[in-house]
Amino acid sequence: MAEISIGANAQRLVIYIGEADRWRGKPLYAALLDALRAHGMAGATVVRGVAGFGAHSRIHTASILRLSEDLPLRIEIIDSREKIAQAVEFIAPMVTEGLITLDDVSVVKYTHRYLSPLPADRPVADVMTRKVITLAPEMSLAQAWDRMLQQNTKALPVVDADNVVVGMLTDEDILTRAGLGQRLSVATRLDRALLQQELQHLGDSGLTVREVMSQPVVTTHPKESLVVAASRMAARGIKRLPVVDENGKLVGVIARLDILHQVANAETKVGRKPISAHAGHVASDVMVSEIPTVRADADLAELVNAFVAANTHRLIVVDENAHAIGLVSDADVVSRIQPAHQRNILEALQRRGPVPASSATARDLMSPEVLTVLPDTPLREATQRMLAAGRKWMIVADSNGKPLGLLDRQALLTAVTGQGTNGDT
């Protein structure tokens, strides 16, 4: 079933018929609903009028004495322009007497009940992490980066002397505003001597956390609904959200991973009736279809060029039949190349130098275990598999193993909160 994304320019199709109208031996309204569902429309609603008259000028009412009369019915469908155009083609011949109208609508939000498995009444306090590592605004950037490396955390809240949140420091902040050479996932895999050089570079800059941190800070409150907090994170592409009290003081942090664990553990039933995977989002609905691939025999220069050209941190390694056989990240390349070449690799990835000579290929540097799901895999199942494997992304592949797209944590979060997707890796 298609989803209409937030703010989409959709259309509304309205059909006016009589309750007594028939189509091939069954009530017309029922036949129309069956046809709409069979063609994958987002949904339809039938409303029964209490009174009205049509082309024959005969008044029909719902009075007790006239229950058998032909009461007016209104069938309303809202979907994308393309879907509505298809609907008109097969509906028009079925409505031999009645009225069909069409107008533009702006959809604020459209999502299925089971695609929002987070309980609306559950507060953030139930899920948040209460013991939080923080940074001080006057701390040197080198000290802050060293703490982030020790904690293996890409983002930490910045608090003042009163524990009030004043900013958020991420590895992206340090990359873009302080000239750090790599992301945290790469830095943690550097040779110790090279890592010390990076820390020395930050120390020499004289920069403090206050000068580099992101502000104002997007926050949530302990009593706020988990659904609201998750939607805020998804809409802004935030991986961690500080939780503050009424005075702005830090009381916890909620992470994207915390929310996905709630999704993975949620029930996928409405009442006692299981919902079909096709009743809502499946992997193919939200996957990123731009697939950055590289051949297994690609040399180091080809790998680096592929990273730069695709502006990505990960590549799918495929065999001669275009089947996925592994994944390779920029961190894999840096960590699995000899320490003496790591600096040159970092500079090449940033387009600041040539790629060092090496006999290594994508097959040598890749992680061979590929986590894949079929296109029709329900998102809850995909989330469970991703979390169980401790992965940040997975490949959507057909039954023959040919990659069709990618799923990451941000795509899953935006899907389960009813937001539009964007493949943030």
Question: What pLDDT digit, counting tens, does each position of 86-98 carry?
Answer: 899 889 889 988 8
Residue 234 has pLDDT above 90, yes or no: no
Secondary structure of residue 393 in the 3-state scheme: strand
Whole-number average pLDDT of the chain: 81
Domain 124-265 shares a fold with domain 281-416: yes
Q: Which residues of 34-45 are buried (b: 16+ CB within 10 A; e: fewer)?
A: ebbeeeebbebe
Mean pLDDT of 176-188: 68
CA 274/CA 114 separation, integer angstroms: 10
CATH class of 124-265: alpha beta
pLDDT for the residue numbered 409: 86
302 or 54: which leads in pLDDT: 302
- The reply to whether CATH 3.30.70.120 applies to domain 9-110 is yes
What's the pLDDT tens digit per position in 19-63? 889 998 899 999 999 989 888 787 899 998 877 665 554 555 545
Secondary structure of residue 22 in the 3-state scheme: strand
pLDDT for the residue numbered 43: 83
71 or 7: which leads in pLDDT: 71
CA 110/CA 120 separation, integer angstroms: 16
Spatial CB neighbours of 79, under 8 Å, sequence gap ≥ 6: 2, 4, 10, 11, 13, 41, 42, 43, 87
Q: Where are the domains of the chain?
A: 9-110, 124-265, 281-416
CA 197/CA 174 separation, integer angstroms: 15
Residue 189 has pLDDT above 60, yes or no: yes
116 or 319: which leads in pLDDT: 319
Given pLDDT bands bounded at 50, 70 and 90, which one contains residue 193? confident
Mean pLDDT of 163-180: 86
What's the pLDDT tens digit per position in 343-402? 777 777 777 778 888 888 999 999 888 899 999 998 888 888 999 988 888 899 998 888
5 or 390: which leads in pLDDT: 390
CA 227/CA 399 separation, integer angstroms: 34
pLDDT for the residue numbered 47: 93
Rg (CA), the chain: 28
Secondary structure of residue 48 in the 3-state scheme: strand
CATH class of 281-416: alpha beta
Given pLDDT bands bounded at 50, 70 and 90, which one contains residue 268? very low
Lowest mean pLDDT among 236-240, 331-335, 398-402: 331-335
* Sheet with strand 314-318: strands edge to edge: 293-295, 314-318, 324-329
Q: How far is the first Cα of the chain from the last one, in angstroms, to the nearest whole number?
A: 26
pLDDT for the residue numbered 423: 39
In terms of pTM, does the model score above 0.85? no
Given pLDDT bands bounded at 50, 70 and 90, which one contains residue 124? very high
Question: What is the percent of the chain with per-residue pLDDT over 90, rounded to a whole number?
Answer: 31
Mean pLDDT of 232-244: 90
Q: Which residues pair with 157 in a beta bridge?
A: 168
